[in-house]
Amino acid sequence: MNDLSRPEWQPDTELVHGGVLRSQFGETSEALFLTQGYVYPSAEAAEARFKGDDPGFVYSRYANPTVAMFEERMRLLEGAEAARGTASGMAAVATALMSIVSAGDHIVAAKALFGSCLYIIEDLLPRFGVAYTLVDGKDLDAWRKAMRENTRAVFLESPTNPTLEIVDIAGVSKIAHEAGALVVVDNVFATPLLQRPLQLGADVVVYSATKHIDGQGRCLAGVVLGTSEFIEKAHTFLKHTGPSLSPFNAWVMLKGLETLPLRVERQTASAARLADLLASHRNVTRTLYPGRKDHPQHELALRQMGSGATMIAFEVKGGKEGAFKVANALRLIKISNNLGDAKSLITHPATTTHQRLTPEVRASLGIGEGMLRLSVGIEAVDDLLADLGRALDAA
Ligand SMILES: *Cc1c(COP(=O)(O)O)cnc(C)c1O
């Protein structure tokens, strides 16, 4: 598949053409190989396949041509040595961490994490003898102080959900590497187009492809990317435990990747316009958008992502009641906790995605009762501005 004779293309081109495996029929669009297994021409051929002497496919829990196309397209986009698709974003996170740590090891993670990632680090891995320390992701000194002799993995997400704090990936990577730990970045909010964790010094990148990569709210999928050596370990974990990516979902993701740059560009441009509207509205007390100059880490955000990306958080007057009023008054923007979708979606983190946390922990993370998180879609920006403006006026 690695055709070295062809030129290297820009990401937008790789996302349309990269990784294609054409069958004997020469189909234009990527084929969906909805097959669990493969027929061998002879018993000898089957033996060679199982021994690894012949690199062909054996079983779709191990590998599948449609899944391989998605993996190769993601690998090209990320500039990684290797990639493996997974059944969901959480399968990618679990696979990455399970491929690094063993009993007796220690993980350092930012405390502002996607809820299920926190579950793996705080509840699941400690049952198998893996200790952890959670730190304020913005504070490089806190990362430095948390490192121990047995720290093997560092896990972070940037921008964070839902408060859109920026973690300095290059800074944290330097600290982690000095301590001998691998850096895993959950790059969902930034998208692979705006932020390149491997180039910033990280070792492993994980995605929930369910979000911007599908971009049309259809399927769950994930992907883990890193060195060939690391992905070999991830592959062993996946093929024996089973959270492998289904060929159908991989096919949906392949088609999603083709339009990812168009969507992210539109979503980012619209997010900037919507953030400005929010920041100037009398019913909004705080607007968090990394692309605005008033974001406390605006410069770091520009250095790391080049723009403010597609997500906004804001706090309205009147706490939970005020936030519910605004959400309920929207007509175009839908109430849903997905993100990165073509449709603009709004959610109230305190009562949905972050309901599991105590009010004290929420407050310490900066998640107020009046906070709403907006995932900006690809609708005409004037319609979005009108919908949001009207809902805020009515609150
Ligand atoms: C959604 C999400 C996940 C989990 O992905 P699934 O595909 O839902 O399993 C992990 N991390 C972040 C930041 C997410 O937004």
CA 11 to centroid of chain Cα atoms: 18
User: Which residues, in sequence order, are bridge partners of residue 207?
Assistant: 223
Contact indicator for 351, 321 with CB cutoff of 8 Å: no
Q: In the chain, where are the structural domains located?
A: 11-258, 261-394
Q: What pLDDT sits at residue 1? A: 46
**Separation of CA 209 and ligand 1 centre (Å):** 8
**Separation of CA 357 and ligand 1 centre (Å):** 17
Q: What pLDDT sits at residue 121? A: 98
User: Per-residue pLDDT tens for 63-89?
Assistant: 999 999 999 999 999 999 999 999 999
Q: Rounded to whole angstroms, how far apart are CA atoms 77 and 75? A: 5
Q: Rounded to whole angstroms, how far apart are CA atoms 225 and 177? A: 18
**Separation of CA 339 and ligand 1 centre (Å):** 9
Q: What pLDDT sits at residue 395? A: 83
Closest C-alpha residue for ligand 1 atom 6: 89
Q: What pLDDT sits at residue 321? A: 97
Q: Which of 169, 230, 224, 226 lies closest to 200 in space, CA to CA?
A: 169
CATH fold label, 11-258: Aspartate Aminotransferase; domain 2 (3.40.640)
Which protein residues touch ligand 1 with a CB less than 6 Å away?
88-90, 114, 117, 157, 161, 186, 188-189, 208, 210-211, 220, 222
Backbone φ and ψ for 256, nearest 5 degrees, come out as -65, -40
Starting from the edge strand earliest in sequence, which strands make up the sheet with 82-86, in order?
82-86, 222-226, 204-208, 182-186, 151-157, 106-110, 131-135
Contact indicator for 287, 278 with CB cutoff of 8 Å: yes
Q: What pLDDT sits at residue 4? A: 57
Provide the 10 A C-beta neighbour count for residue 159: 27
Closest C-alpha residue for ligand 1 atom 2: 208
Closest C-alpha residue for ligand 1 atom 1: 208
Which residue stretches of the chain have pLDDT < 50?
1
Closest C-alpha residue for ligand 1 atom 8: 89
Full-model pTM? 0.96
Q: Rounded to whole angstroms, how far apart are CA atoms 191 and 112? A: 18
Can you tell me which residue has the tokens 């690894």? 52
CATH code matching the domain that covers 261-394, chosen among 3.30.565.10, 3.30.2310.20, 3.90.1150.10, 3.30.930.10: 3.90.1150.10
The encoded tokens of residue 82 equal 């290797």
Closest C-alpha residue for ligand 1 atom 11: 114
Which atom of ligand 1 approaches the CA of 189 most closely? 13
Can you tell me which residue has the tokens 């305190």? 350
Which atom of ligand 1 approaches the CA of 188 most closely? 13
Q: Rounded to whole angstroms, how far apart are CA atoms 395 and 273? A: 20
Q: Rounded to whole angstroms, how far apart are CA atoms 166 and 164? A: 6
Closest C-alpha residue for ligand 1 atom 7: 89
Which atom of ligand 1 approaches the CA of 339 most closely? 15
Indicate the top mutation candidate among 211, 310, 353 to test ligand 1's pocket, ranked by most ligand atoms within 8 A of CB. Answer: 211
User: Per-residue pLDDT tens for 39-51?
Assistant: 999 999 999 999 9
Backbone φ and ψ for 108, nearest 5 degrees, come out as -115, 130
Q: What pLDDT sits at residue 3? A: 59
